[in-house]
């Protein structure tokens, strides 16, 4: 509350601070005066706690504490008076963080401890004697305040900097092979002020925070000077120490030797892709809990993210509350343990093929697990594919979506998982647990003839997924037979742009009755498309009428097989005979003719035509003709001018 200037608490009030992360006046940058009881306790520019009985509710020892973050960012506060009390008092490093104007803290002589950085910045005065009691005392944030540790440097701001820590030179962990410091900010606020150390004897990378402020692990890119890249391929264990709240995203991608991660008590989140493709990572557990091989335990997390794709984790203990069900689970996952079962969680487990078990009652379980061969190449988060060369059949197994293909151009994209074999694919089979085909997934697979898609309602086919599949004859639902010349997408709720563009052998399309979107150029350059099958009164019927196609009620008649021929231009390139050398030369300009279709860059550019002009074989014979033509034109022009001048004179 940046406009707040003063606060008056009635006599006898008691402050209970619930949770150590709450700052009662945090960020009140214009607050100058706080007082308790009658107006005699009011002192301008001062937080006067005389007559106040404060208590930190997180502290079970009965201490009267200045709570963490209590005045953090109160840049206008000049002094603090804290009543002498029979109980011992603790002051944390964050209590007055960012109090740039604070000059002194008057307090009783029963002060127990205060963070070292407070003694470096502020003067402590005995409330009764007025004596300066600023001296080294035990530090509640860790270590002591007597100079064994230093500060991280930097001036103190209004809650955005001045984080207490240890200078890298003074951080010298015993037995470490290498060590260093990490820093980073977000919205001008320090979120990374940690230290790392690597121990070669145990192959362990350890992260430490020497502050109680919010902190993340950071990644190699956050290191001030040296980093642990030299040891990336041999690190087997990672320890995240206390006072670190989050493992930063993409911190440990593809650490091939990593086996397990031990988390400190404060870790509440592991960001997306933090351990992406750490293929030997099996175990994550919190310090103080049992380590169970193969299990990643996320109890106590505030958010569950996609951190484990490509790992070998087989069990996950889910957070007590899930913030989202848009979860991508590792391919290896067999069982997820829950404490709070919802319909959404059950649906997600069933779709993604993993079991659910109540961690407090193992008899309550739901079995959906299906083995997915981890040796097959990936084509989605939990989807793999296999290719049978003998039949030309590509089969997609697993669960979830086939991934989008990015940076696709007309010639294709090497990010297609099957790029190297795409012209050998004749048949595609998408198994039932696959939910979607991503954008451009099979674009340019010119020799595909049939595609089987799952039969469930709501299957998704992305933009241009089958663009330029020139020889595709049929798309059909699992459990039915392919019909030549027919695309049956009656279970797809939206037809995206260019999905079946340049599919020359399609005559019929069966469209879902609830389709409300048929994107631009869905069937662009499909010369044989003639019939739409659907439900009368639906958007499909409107689409047929708008595009001059015949419409049929799918409940009354099914599509019949139609054998289509490709466009003549795609198989019979035009040719033009060269002029005979014995032909008489005329003044006619040679006609422009079309050359045979070129395939520059491969068969992907099959319909690019180039206009060329035949050159006469004997260019020197043309020169007299050209000169004569120019002379004739000049003569004609002169005659025209003479006639015009003569007419003008006759009029005069």
Mean pLDDT by 10 residues, the chain (652 residues): 88 58 79 83 80 52 60 85 59 76 72 56 67 54 36 29 40 90 90 95 95 91 93 97 93 97 95 95 94 96 91 96 84 94 93 94 94 90 94 95 80 81 97 94 96 96 95 97 97 95 96 90 94 96 95 95 84 45 40 38 34 38 58 63 53 46
Give bridge partners of residue 486 from the DSSP assignment.
474, 508
- Considering the domain boundaries, does residue 573 fall inside one? no
- Residue 163: other Cβ atoms inside 10 A: 27
- Considering the domain boundaries, does residue 133 fall inside one? no
Same structural domain, 422 and 302: no
Same structural domain, 208 and 344: yes
Same structural domain, 414 and 361: no
C-alpha angle 584/585/587, rounded to 5°? 140
The domain tally of the chain equals 4
Q: Coil, strand, or helix at residue 532?
A: strand
CA–CA dist 346, 352 (Å, integer): 10
pLDDT at 410: 55
Tell me the backbone φ, ψ of residue 641, rounded to 5 degrees: -65, -45
- Considering the domain boundaries, does residue 113 fall inside one? yes
- Considering the domain boundaries, does residue 616 fall inside one? no
Same structural domain, 504 and 640: no
Same structural domain, 186 and 69: no
CA–CA dist 205, 220 (Å, integer): 12
CB 559 within 8 A of CB 486: yes
Same structural domain, 25 and 111: yes
Same structural domain, 191 and 286: yes
pLDDT at 439: 94
Contacts 24+ apart (CB under 8 A), 529-535: 531/507, 531/559, 532/508, 533/508, 533/509, 533/557, 533/558, 533/559, 534/490, 534/510
- Considering the domain boundaries, does residue 336 fall inside one? yes
CA–CA dist 54, 14 (Å, integer): 6
- Considering the domain boundaries, does residue 397 fall inside one? no
DSSP assignment, residue 505? T
Same structural domain, 173 and 120: no
CB 110 within 8 A of CB 89: yes
- Which of 366, 396, 422 terminates a domain? The answer is 366
Same structural domain, 488 and 630: no
The pTM (predicted TM-score) of the whole model is: 0.53
CB 13 within 8 A of CB 37: no
- Considering the domain boundaries, does residue 414 fall inside one? yes
Structural domain range at position 474: 407-568
Same structural domain, 205 and 349: yes
- Which of 315, 346, 366 terminates a domain? The answer is 366
CA–CA dist 275, 322 (Å, integer): 20
Q: Coil, strand, or helix at residue 621?
A: helix
pLDDT at 75: 86
- Which of 548, 568, 588 terminates a domain? The answer is 568
- Considering the domain boundaries, does residue 155 fall inside one? no
C-alpha torsion 64→68→70→76, nearest 10: 120
H/E run at residue 629: helix 623-651
CB 405 within 8 A of CB 443: yes
CB 230 within 8 A of CB 252: no
Closest among 376, 331, 377, 374 to 354, alpha carbons compared: 331
Same structural domain, 557 and 647: no
pLDDT at 391: 97
């Amino acid at each position: 509350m940046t406009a707040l200037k003063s606060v008056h608490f009635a006599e006898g009030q008691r402050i209970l601070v619930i949770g150590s992360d709450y700052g009662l006046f945090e960020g009140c940058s214009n607050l100058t005066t706080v007082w308790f009881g009658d107006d005699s306790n009011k002192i301008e520019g001062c937080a006067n706690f005389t007559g106040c009985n404060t208590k930190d509710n997180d502290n079970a020892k009965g201490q009267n504490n200045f709570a963490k973050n209590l005045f953090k960012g109160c840049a206008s506060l000049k002094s603090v008076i804290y009543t002498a009390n029979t109980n011992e008092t603790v002051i944390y490093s964050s209590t007055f963080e960012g109090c740039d104007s604070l000059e002194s803290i008057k307090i009783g002589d029963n002060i127990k401890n205060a963070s070292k950085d407070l003694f470096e910045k502020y003067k402590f005065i005995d409330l009764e004697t007025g004596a300066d009691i600023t001296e080294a005392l035990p530090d509640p944030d860790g270590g002591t305040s007597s100079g064994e540790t230093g500060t991280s440097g930097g001036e103190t701001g209004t809650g955005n900097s001045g984080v207490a820590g240890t200078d890298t030179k003074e951080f010298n962990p015993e037995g470490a092979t290498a060590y260093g410091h990490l820093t980073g900010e977000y919205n001008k606020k320090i979120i990374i002020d940690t230290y790392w150390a690597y121990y070669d004897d145990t192959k362990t990378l350890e992260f430490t925070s020497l502050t109680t402020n919010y902190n993340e692990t950071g990644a190699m890119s956050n290191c001030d000077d040296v980093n642990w890249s030299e040891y990336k391929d041999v690190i087997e264990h990672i320890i995240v120490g206390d006072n670190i709240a989050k493992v930063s995203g993409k911190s440990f991608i593809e650490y091939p030797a990593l086996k397990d991660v031990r988390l400190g008590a404060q870790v509440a989140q592991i960001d997306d892709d933090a351990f992406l493709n750490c293929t030997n990572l099996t175990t994550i557990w919190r310090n103080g809990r049992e380590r169970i091989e193969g299990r990643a335990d996320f109890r106590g997390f505030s958010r569950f993210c996609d951190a484990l794709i490509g790992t070998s984790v087989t069990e996950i203990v889910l957070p007590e509350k899930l913030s989202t069900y848009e979860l991508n689970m590792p391919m290896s996952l067999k069982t997820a343990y829950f404490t709070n079962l919802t319909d959404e969680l059950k649906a997600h487990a069933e779709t993604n093929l993993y079991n659910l078990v109540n961690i407090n009652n193992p008899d309550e379980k739901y079995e959906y697990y299906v083995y997915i061969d981890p040796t097959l190449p990936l084509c989605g988060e939990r989807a793999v594919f296999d290719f049978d060369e003998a039949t030309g059949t590509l089969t997609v197994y697993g669960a979830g979506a086939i991934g989008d293909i990015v940076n696709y151009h007309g010639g294709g994209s090497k990010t297609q998982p099957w790029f190297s074999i795409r012209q050998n694919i004749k048949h595609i089979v998408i198994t039932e647990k696959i939910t979607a085909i991503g954008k451009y997934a099979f674009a340019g697979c010119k020799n595909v003839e049939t595609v089987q898609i799952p039969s469930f309602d709501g299957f998704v086919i992305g933009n241009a997924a089958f663009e330029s599949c020139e020889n595709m004859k049929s798309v059909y639902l699992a459990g039915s037979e392919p019909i030549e010349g027919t695309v049956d997408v009656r279970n797809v709720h939206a037809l995206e742009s260019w999905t079946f563009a340049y599919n020359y052998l399609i005559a019929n399309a069966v469209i879902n009755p609830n389709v409300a979107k048929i994107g631009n150029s869905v069937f662009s350059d499909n010369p044989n498309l003639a019939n739409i099958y659907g439900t009368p009164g639906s958007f499909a019927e409107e689409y047929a009428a708008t595009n001059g196609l015949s419409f049929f009620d799918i409940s009354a008649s099914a599509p019949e097989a139609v054998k289509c021929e490709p466009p003549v231009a795609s198989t019979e390139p035009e040719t033009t005979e060269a002029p005979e050398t014995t032909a008489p030369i005329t003044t006619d300009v040679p006609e422009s003719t079309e050359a045979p279709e070129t395939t520059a860059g491969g068969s992907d550019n099959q319909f690019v035509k180039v206009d060329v002009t035949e050159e006469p074989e004997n260019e020197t014979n043309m020169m007299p003709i050209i000169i004569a033509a120019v002379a004739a034109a000049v003569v004609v022009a002169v005659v025209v001018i003479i006639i015009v001048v003569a007419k003008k004179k006759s009029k005069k």
